[in-house]
Amino acid sequence: MVLVGLLPLVVSHYFLMGINRDSLETLEKKYLTRSAVSIATDIQNLIASNTQQLNKIAGSIHVMKRALPPDTDPFGYIARRGVITDYISSDSDLLALRIVDAAGEGAEAKPPELDRSILQELDLTRTAAMRGQVSTGTFQYVSSINQPAVVVAVPVIDQGKVIGVVEGLVSLRRVTERIRDEGRGDVTVFLVDRNGRVLIHSEPSVDVRRPDFSSLKIVGEFKKAPMRLTESYEDRRSGQPVNMLGTVAPVIRPDWGVVVQKPEALAYASVDKMLRATIEWGAIALALAIIASVLFASGIARPIRILAQRTREIAKGQYQQRVQIKTHNEIGDLADNFNVMSSAIEQAVDQLKKAAHENNLLFINSVRMLAAAIDAKDPYTRGHSERVGRYSIAIGKNLALPERDMRNLRISALLHDVGKIGIDDRILRKPGALNDDEFEVMKQHPAKGAAIMSGVAQLIDIIPGMKYHHEKWSGGGYPDGLQGEQIPMQARIVAIADTFDAMTTNRPYQKAMELAYVVEKIKSFAGTRFDPRVVDAFVQAVKRGDIQIEEQVRGAA
């Protein structure tokens, strides 16, 4: 009764803690996601606004070319006028600007002592823009002015032809300021490229080193697919594993990602504290209740527990279990009845298993006898069905067929020639090759066999292997001209086993062939006569020794 009273309290506290934790986790995820998306949007807007400005400059050059006298180079005109410096100011995001023609000649305004790597980046981006599309370069750091930047270039198009490029070195100082503002306290913010390299970090010391963060799970996920993602993960970079809650928001152009993360221990601190307190007090109350309940009810509960345990063991199939309870009440009577029931069930199950085993042996032996009787009609195929059954099982094993399919395959292979009962003995025993009319009669044996077995409902699953084992993978077989996946798997396996036995035993019209030759011959039929996958399983069965030719088989005829 004490437990019944405490249980609702414990359950309600458990679900309440779960709800609070989920709510707080959702709020933290929303905060991190909004922060990351906001920074990513700022970066995209910064690049987009400067790209728009460069496009306006490119458009003005197009207009200028039409307004200037013929044969006047607009790029040279701009260089002579010196108007390009108007676009570079202290409050502008453009650190450098170049307006050049296809040969790279024209006007430029840039800070002194610009890094050589940035000059190379300007040339690479200009070359890309000459193809007619806006081009955004890779992340750059302008050491002379201590600012991160990226190159953006737009083509100047006149009459459908690219005549030059306007490119600007866009400062990312505002992005750096935003990242460091967001990365205060317990929150860490950083910008990475698709290779996992840190471009800008909220901690200046990390920002300067620009390490590789690709080992961080969330960065690894971003490298695989640049999409927005929020998840929990473990950060091992500091040597001591720290569980983090983080989110990544992709920047469409350029191909960067903004990661915002926070230690889970700090994010869920209040819930963890509530959880610990609830567990401590709940454990004390529960322990006291359990002690009282055990002292009061152990005499009643113990026999019931023993009976319940034996019942579970009986349910698992351990029918030899018995209950030893020395009481003279209703529980003792129940235990005695349980023992009687267990004995009866054990005897009945043993009898059923024995009968099922005997029935299965009788059925299999009957099938084998029927197959032997069929083979006996032709002295050259003695033992053929038994061998085909054995080879088929070996192939099915290497195809990893389920147990039920393997059983059906074995019976189907043993009875694959049962239709020969209805074929004239003169045709079956003919020592030479069959003529066309005789062959047409012989071709009826798969359908005859299927018709014979169709009258037995329990054997319906073995008919496909019997009826279609002479179909060809590429079509043209008999009786129905099936091809490819239309042919049941049973029939595809029996077809190879049947052919293999025919080629490795002596027949009136051919001598038994060597194993290696037969294997290569069957491999050559893959994709035309046989299913390539079944051929592979057959070859594997031969290599593993699952298929072997007994020496006496070669002289069976």
Selected from 3.50.50.60, 3.30.450.20, 3.30.1700.10, 3.40.50.450, the CATH number assigned to the domain covering 175-267 reads 3.30.450.20
Closest residue by Cα to residue 389 from 363, 370, 412? 412
Tell me the three-class secondary structure of 43-93, residue by residue: HHHHHHHHHHHHHHHHHHHHHHHHHCCCCCCHHHHHHHHCHHHHHCCCCCC
Domain ranges, ordered by start, for the chain: 68-171, 175-267, 271-341, 377-554
- CA 535 → CA 497, 527, 538, 539, distances in Å? 10, 9, 5, 6
Locate 198 and state its tokens.
Answer: 């840190």
Contact 445, 468 (CB under 8 A): no
Superfamily of domain 68-171: PAS domain (3.30.450.20)
Contact 396, 406 (CB under 8 A): yes
Domains 68-171 and 175-267 share a fold: yes
Residue 557 has pLDDT above 90, yes or no: no
Report the predicted TM-score, pTM, of the whole model to 2 decimal places: 0.49
Locate 313 and state its tokens.
Answer: 């063991």
Q: Which residues contact 180 (CB under 8 A, 6 or more apart)?
A: 189, 202, 204
Provide DSSP, 283-339.
Answer: HHHHHHHHHHHHHHHHHHHHHHHHHHHHHHHHHTT-TT--------SHHHHHHHHHH
Q: Give the confidence band of 556 by pLDDT, cuts at 50, 70, 90.
A: very low
Instruction: For residue 232, list its beta bridge partners.
Output: 245
Give the residue-averaged pLDDT of 53-70: 89
Locate 25 and state its tokens.
Answer: 């986790």
Which tens digit of pLDDT belongs to each residue from 93-143?
899 999 999 888 999 988 888 888 899 999 999 999 999 999 999 999 998
Look up the CATH architecture of domain 377-554.
Answer: Orthogonal Bundle (1.10)
Average pLDDT, the chain: 83
Q: Which residues contact 403 (CB under 8 A, 6 or more apart)?
A: none
Across 22-26, 275-279, 338-342, 409-413, the highest mean pLDDT is recorded for 409-413
Give the residue-averaged pLDDT of 392-403: 94
Which tens digit of pLDDT belongs to each residue from 253-306?
888 999 999 998 887 776 677 777 777 776 787 777 677 766 766 666 666 677
Orientation of helix 489-503 relative to helix 403-414, angle to 10°? 50
Instruction: For residue 59, list its beta bridge partners.
Output: none
> For the purposes of burial, counting CB atoms within 10 Å of the CB of 437, is it exposed (0-12), middle (13-18) or buried (19 or more)?
exposed
CA 456 to chain centre: 43
Residue 67 has pLDDT above 70, yes or no: yes
Contacts of residues 59-68 at CB distance under 8 Å and 24 or more positions apart, as own/partner, are: 61/99, 61/156, 61/164, 61/166, 62/156, 62/157, 62/158, 65/158, 65/163
Q: What is the pLDDT of residue 552?
A: 46
Give the residue-averaged pLDDT of 361-389: 67
Contacts of residues 430-435 at CB distance under 8 Å and 24 or more positions apart, as own/partner, are: 431/508, 431/509, 432/508, 432/509, 433/509
